[in-house]
A and B are shown apart, each in its own frame.
Chain A
């Protein structure tokens, strides 16, 4: 029993802040600290908040756009790296976005955009997010590729199919679960990403994390608690749904 103490500390440590934030979102008063009665008023406040609505719209646009780019590029890259090259350098380029500190990529992109005199807006964030998205998709698809048998592709070629047909009818369908998982990862990473967006977004086009950041910096209000609770509910539901879905498909 004594041995399990650090285990319980970890979980208490992980969940106490979340429970406090969620509980305080239902506070009637305007302090996020002291309880003064139950109310949904901060959710009403949240629904009216124009900034948050703009931020959410921007985030969804950036995440969708960058995920589309990342899924196409990442899938092609994964197949290419696994089947057509042994180059360590190309490998390193494809994994670099995952290990590079986000602030370094952020300043690099800012410097690059400024050099080519691209006005910062929403698309500058979208293009930036596709960088680590591509790496994420490529990484996930490659783990799937490692588990598949290349002889299927060889058989298809031997039977007279050209490279394109083989890719479309054999490679893609076997990789489909990996591609979907990679796309989901790229989307989630983009929705949550703050640092790169902070450096590359135009002043008129903040993403949701940027809006949250300026709210938190400006001061704590229970409205942030309400927003946090909504985001938590969405994430928890999505994760549980994804877990159920993978269990269902695995069982089949």
Chain B
């Protein structure tokens, strides 16, 4: 009896709060997906499948595909840049390792909008990069760098690259160098040792890093808006517009549900691969 009272005082307030302000709101969004938009933006409580049919309309499907494409390219680039970076950091001597890690997360702790703004300054027609390129005589006219898909990728990569490096660093640092020595002694060349020893051992961290970059990238609407200039809509922009501009909440909720479903699938894949790769039944 006393034990259960204790449990209630410890768990009750927090779980109660999260239930009211998270579980109920999410359930609400879920329920909106089957209702219709009223003529003046309100809700009509008549079940319909219209929202889901609309979401697979080529017009909107295109936005989903573009979102996956942009978030995917960002993730691949983050991996290509992040893996060697984490590898070097993991092998730095003690003090330099700390400095490199702090240096990695410092920009990450600065305001997200400011970090995005910095890229507007860099990529503008009159910005730093165009200035340098024309100054060196490499180009005559400023390039259109801002308001393009690569600009969005650059902004997302800049925002989330540390999220790729950190899990990779953690895995690479734990790795026993003797394994590589053993591989070398057995005649494996560095490339072969990397492919057969390092890579399989760090694969769970690779997948974790990819999820960490992909998830916030695909739902982002600020970077596509500020660096894409409204030329390229991602699913986040679409959801935002349905809720704040078009006031078609059921359709916005449906798009959000599709986004969450995609991410859940990804997380399940991650958990499954982590179990497979480490052979740990409890992971």
What's the Cα separation between A34 and B116 when bound, in Å? Answer: 19
| Cβ A99 vs Cβ B267 within 8 A | yes
| Cβ A14 vs Cβ B22 within 8 A | no
| Cβ B110 vs Cβ A3 within 8 A | no
| Any B CB within 8 A of the CB of A239 | yes
| Cβ B118 vs Cβ A18 within 8 A | yes
| Any B CB within 8 A of the CB of A194 | yes
| Cβ A111 vs Cβ B121 within 8 A | no
| Any A CB within 8 A of the CB of B161 | yes
- CB proximity of A43 to chain B, nearest CB, Å: 16
Interface string of B98-134 (1 = CB under 8 A from A): 0000111111011111111111111010111001000
| Cβ A84 vs Cβ B6 within 8 A | yes
| Cβ A220 vs Cβ B117 within 8 A | yes
| Cβ B22 vs Cβ A96 within 8 A | yes
| Cβ A213 vs Cβ B113 within 8 A | yes
| Cβ B128 vs Cβ A33 within 8 A | yes
Given the interface contacts A10-B81, A194-B113, does A111 sit within 8 Å of B29 by beta carbon? yes
The residue in A99, A108, A112 that gathers the most chain B C-beta atoms within 10 A of its C-beta is A108
| Cβ B28 vs Cβ A79 within 8 A | no
Partner of B243, one of A31, A100, A199, A235: A199
Q: Which residue of A is nearest B92, CB measured? A: A7
| Cβ A77 vs Cβ B15 within 8 A | yes
Interface string of B1-32 (1 = CB under 8 A from A): 01100110111011101110111111011001
CB-CB under 8 A from A128, the residues of chain B are 21
Given the interface contacts A34-B131, A104-B26, does A76 sit within 8 Å of B9 by beta carbon? yes
Count of A-B contacts with CB under 8 A? Answer: 232
Given the interface contacts A192-B112, A228-B117, does A13 sit within 8 Å of B18 by beta carbon? no
Segment among B49-57, B173-181, B216-224, B275-283 that sits at the interface with chain A:
B216-224
CB-CB under 8 A from B103, the residues of chain A are 11, 14
How big is chain B's contact interface, by range? 35 or more
CB-CB under 8 A from A239, the residues of chain B are 102, 105-106, 109
CB-CB under 8 A from B88, the residues of chain A are 3-4, 6-7
| Cβ B82 vs Cβ A220 within 8 A | no
| Any B CB within 8 A of the CB of A181 | no
- CB proximity of A180 to chain B, nearest CB, Å: 17
How big is chain A's contact interface, by range? 35 or more
| Cβ A216 vs Cβ B11 within 8 A | no
Interface string of A53-80 (1 = CB under 8 A from B): 0000000000000000100111011011
The residue in B3, B81, B82, B157 that gathers the most chain A C-beta atoms within 10 A of its C-beta is B81
What's the Cα separation between A13 and B162 when bound, in Å? Answer: 12
Given the interface contacts A85-B7, A111-B32, does A102 sit within 8 Å of B89 by beta carbon? no
CB-CB under 8 A from A105, the residues of chain B are 22, 25-26
What's the Cα separation between A199 and B245 when bound, in Å? Answer: 12
| Cβ B115 vs Cβ A108 within 8 A | no
Q: Which of A23-40 contact B (CB under 8 A)?
A: 24, 31-34
18 contacts between A and B (CB under 8 A): A3-B88, A7-B85, A10-B81, A21-B121, A84-B6, A90-B15, A100-B26, A101-B263, A105-B22, A110-B243, A111-B253, A127-B21, A135-B18, A188-B109, A194-B222, A224-B117, A228-B114, A239-B109
Q: Which residues of A contact B (CB under 8 A)?
A: 3-7, 9-11, 13-18, 20-21, 24, 31-34, 69, 72-74, 76-77, 79-81, 83-85, 90, 93-94, 96-97, 99-105, 107-112, 115, 127-128, 130-131, 134-135, 138, 163, 188, 192, 194-195, 199, 209, 212-213, 216-217, 220, 224-225, 227-228, 231-232, 235-236, 239, 243
